[in-house]
Amino acid sequence: MSFMITRKFSVSIASRIGKKSLLSKVCKPEDTIKFFEDGQALGWSGFTPVGYPKVVPVTVADYVEKTGKKMKFDLYIGASVGAETEDRWAKLGMINRRWPYQTGKNIANGINTGKIQMGDIHLCNYASNLKFGFFTKERKGKLDLGIIEVTEILPDGGLVLAGSVGAVPEVCDISEKLILELNTSMPSYLGLHDIPPDEVPPNRRPYLISRVDDRIGKLYVPVDTEKIVAIVESTKPDNGRPLSPPDEVSEKIAQNILDFLENEVHAGRAPPDLLPLQSGVGNIANAVVAGLAKGQFRNVKVWTEVLQDTMLDFFDTGKLDFATATALTLSTEGFERLYKNWEEYKQKICLRPQQITNNAEMIRRMGVIGMNTPVEVDIYGHANSTLIGGTRMINGLGGSNDFLRNCYISMMHCPSVRPTKTDPTGITCIVPKAPHIDHTEHDLDVIVTEQGLADLRGLAPRQRAMEIINKCAHPDYKPILTDYFNTAYQHCLKQKAAHEPQILSKVFKMQEYLEKNGTMKVDKW
């Protein structure tokens, strides 16, 4: 986002602080250094590179880099944040533990070299488990310090967040102290959020949401203002996620999905305006939404985790009525569009905590149709979304399985192949067995590649295998996978164990062959 776009919203920090007793807490970023100590557990706002603190973390990193003082923290955030913050902290050796999702080369390297402890978890469970104290048992369930980006502080001290909610209500609740970054370069987001009471069992009541535009909570996060120890002004924009144009493969995958949805309507398994849609992040997801924007469906609703740029296109066509998410994962240009037509878009969007957007109760009740991207899928419909080769962490599970295990229709889409340095089709994304499984065969209904779409509903395991191989595998790998399946079937049939045939000594041969030869095209089984 350019400064010219944000400047029309720029105001004095005092005008955004409704509770005037908090004016005494306004300070410079460097004045917050005294609140940080080695070994603390910190909670930040943010979900994807949106709504995260952009000034104080950089100031702390500058301090560590300048002084050489050791400061290492446990870091709990709803999802990933901007690379200029957490990835720089990782480069400086400032992160001990990180939950539950991250992006950045330095932090990924720290995780995969054993320097940073990281655990991923279903995002709808993460926020609740954070509040339950499961991650901070040694601290009696508390965080030492929360750092939260806000766009306004109301007269009662309520916090109006920015472009994401994530796990902020939980972080505010269990943090001993709070530092607020009040971003005056953005509009106040007042009216965009829906923050319900944050309850715990056995006192948790049902979330009475049956439509994507239902509201059950407050427009702000209520906090104990006695916790607020500092308020720092920020004028830094969100680090918008850049998007490249959809490629031919993404567009073919998108068309396969659109054809499938049209067929579901014609078959009477979905209404003419579909059911609420969930779409993950990335070029394939954008291509699907772009296709919907050009397609026949009208009065569409979205219940998802994040909104990308093509959702704005979808709104502009008049075919998308309303969207619920926990974050606006827009590009720089996308934020410019959002703010240019702020009053129009804000009437059609609701941002909620991740434990609401990703909650099984609402996903099942509304019959959400979910679409997400894995690393690979095996022939029986198990999917790996997190670990390359079963060992190297990419980002984390995220919220994909929150949706896939609860959706009315659960889809996973990916290219059939990916290139290696020596072979443009050296890696098949359809394998005999995924080396790590995030999504089981019980969770997935439909697998899609640019080659075709495999509808697995109602199929037994061996039927699923042939459907996936025939419909989704690349031509270079279809005979190889078919040969493996037939060999495994005959092998297991002799042992009267052929319900879901595998040969344990050969099931990862394609992955082993890749390590040695730069391709997964095995010559024989």
Per the CB < 8 A criterion, the answer to whether 165 and 47 are in contact is yes
Residue 286 has what pLDDT? 87
* Residue 260 DSSP class: H
Which one of the listed residues 86, 181, 305, 376 is annotated catalytic? 305
Q: Residue 79: give the domain boundaries.
A: 13-234
The CA distance from 406 to 359, in Å, is 9
Average pLDDT of adjacent 10-residue blocks, the chain of 525 residues: 43 94 98 98 95 98 97 97 95 97 95 96 94 93 98 98 97 98 96 93 90 97 98 92 83 95 97 95 87 93 95 96 96 93 95 96 96 97 96 94 96 97 97 97 97 98 98 98 97 96 97 96 92
- Evaluate whether residue 163 is within a structural domain: yes
DSSP string, 349-389: EEE-BHHHHT-HHHHHHHT-EEEE--SEEETTS-EESSEET
Amino acid at 66: K
pTM of the full structure: 0.94
- Evaluate whether residue 203 is within a structural domain: yes
- Evaluate whether residue 403 is within a structural domain: no
- Evaluate whether residue 74 is within a structural domain: yes
Per the CB < 8 A criterion, the answer to whether 344 and 370 are in contact is no
Q: Pick left, alpha or beta for residue 39 (phi over 0 → left; psi -120 to 50 → alpha; otherwise beta).
A: left
The CA distance from 300 to 196, in Å, is 25
The CA distance from 466 to 266, in Å, is 26
- Evaluate whether residue 21 is within a structural domain: yes
Residue 9 has what pLDDT? 59
Per the CB < 8 A criterion, the answer to whether 47 and 60 are in contact is no
Per the annotation, the verdict on 86 as an active-site residue is no
- Evaluate whether residue 35 is within a structural domain: yes
Q: What is the spatial order of strands in the sheet that 452-455 belongs to?
A: 349-351, 320-325, 300-303, 277-279, 369-372, 409-413, 446-449, 452-455
The CA distance from 464 to 377, in Å, is 12
- Evaluate whether residue 520 is within a structural domain: no
CATH at 37: 3.40.1080.10
18: which residues sit within 8 A by CB, 6+ positions away? 152, 153, 154, 155, 156
- Evaluate whether residue 501 is within a structural domain: no
How many domains, the chain? 1
Residue 1 has what pLDDT? 33
Q: Closest Cα to residue 167, out of 401, 400, 399?
A: 399
Q: Closest Cα to residue 206, out of 361, 86, 335?
A: 361
The CA distance from 394 to 386, in Å, is 6
Beta strands in 112-174 (DSSP E): 117-118, 143-153, 159-161
Per the CB < 8 A criterion, the answer to whether 385 and 395 are in contact is no
